[in-house]
Amino acid sequence: MKSTDLISIHDLQRDEVLEILDLADRIKHDPRVHREALSRKTLAMIFEMPSLRTRVSFEAGMTQLGGLAICLGPPDISMGKRESVADVARTLSGMADGIMARTFSHQAIIDLARHASIPVINGLSDHLHPCQALADFLTIREVFGRCEGIKVAYVGDGNNVAHSLMYAGAKLGARVSIATPPDYAPDPTVVANARRDAGATGAIIETGHEVLAAVADADVVYTDTWASMGQEAEHEERVAVFRPYQVNAAVMARARKGAIFMHCLPAHRGEEVTDEVIESEASVVFRQAANRLHAQKAVLVILMGHRP
């Protein structure tokens, strides 16, 4: 892969995205081949917010690849307050082989990459969640055998997950249909970028506000929590606005026969999705979560494996 960081899937070429997915598939089915790929390598993990899947998948991934992950939470590091992002990046560059950061501000990720001399991985920001989208399309390809032409209907908040789904879908030739309340639409710049990327692959990027139109004939129905971390004060207001965007049995019935349900977790059952759907045979949410490990191991090997 030509890129030295993973900040946004939009930054990658189509063949680079496929390289990650192909390697993730090989690692998943024969992890022994790469068990020493990152021997004696260290990943510094910065967490500005709590994490389950991101922390465990990166930490377990480094261990399984023969390396070490160091978790740096708010008591250990406070970027932009106790220490500038630039100073953190340069300090960690002299001690570790890679940085993974899960931050509130996307600008913090950009600044880390600008000042670090080692690879930087966006573990999540308020704008993008590329690692999640890679695991999502790894799962979609496992289920359907391809990504090209697969319709992914995302229902809910036009957030970081929606943004990265559009970017990944555009690179992989999928049809991504987004349905959000009018005041919670995805960033227009992201939509425009994704549509430009789609021009090279035959992908289709659609946005709108009608749930049933988005999920009609969808192969995948996807949702996320209505109030992400940092938006807790808006929870009640958001629940009132997003109630018509709940994924329930009636919504799933409009999708294509054999459609799957996806959620990046954690799920607020009874809000964005019903128990009936998330516990149904159509649900692949825990397979999707498990694939975070394999997708991220592929990213780690590609970005850190070649470093001396």
132 carries an active-site annotation: yes
Question: Pick the catalytic residue: 102, 127, 141, 263?
Answer: 102
Report the C-alpha gap between 85 and 242 in whole angstroms.
Answer: 35
Supply φ then ψ for residue 97, to 5 degrees. -105, -10
Question: Pick the catalytic residue: 53, 292, 294, 296?
Answer: 292
Q: How far is CA 17 from CA 64, 140, 163, in A?
A: 22, 14, 16
Question: Pick the catalytic residue: 141, 219, 264, 288?
Answer: 264
Chain position carrying tokens 């979609």: 140
32 carries an active-site annotation: no
Q: Which two tokens stand for residue 28?
A: 């998943």
Q: How far is CA 175 from CA 114, 148, 221, in A?
A: 33, 8, 12
Cis peptide before 74 (omega within 30 of 0): no
User: Helix/strand/coil (H, E, C) string of 184-249?
Assistant: HCCCHHHHHHHHHHHCCCCCEEEEECCHHHHHCCCCEEEECCCCCCCCHHHHHHHHHHHHHHCECH
- Tell me the residue length of the chain: 308
Tell me how crowded residue 265 is: count the other CB atoms within 10 A of its CB. Answer: 16
**Is 244 in contact with 210 (CB distance < 8 Å)?**
no
Question: Pick the catalytic residue: 64, 132, 246, 296?
Answer: 132
Report the C-alpha gap between 288 and 225 in whole angstroms.
Answer: 16
147 carries an active-site annotation: no
Question: Pick the catalytic residue: 111, 197, 219, 224?
Answer: 224
102 carries an active-site annotation: yes
Report the C-alpha gap between 49 and 55 in whole angstroms.
Answer: 11
97 carries an active-site annotation: no
Catalytic positions are 102, 129, 132, 224, 264, 292
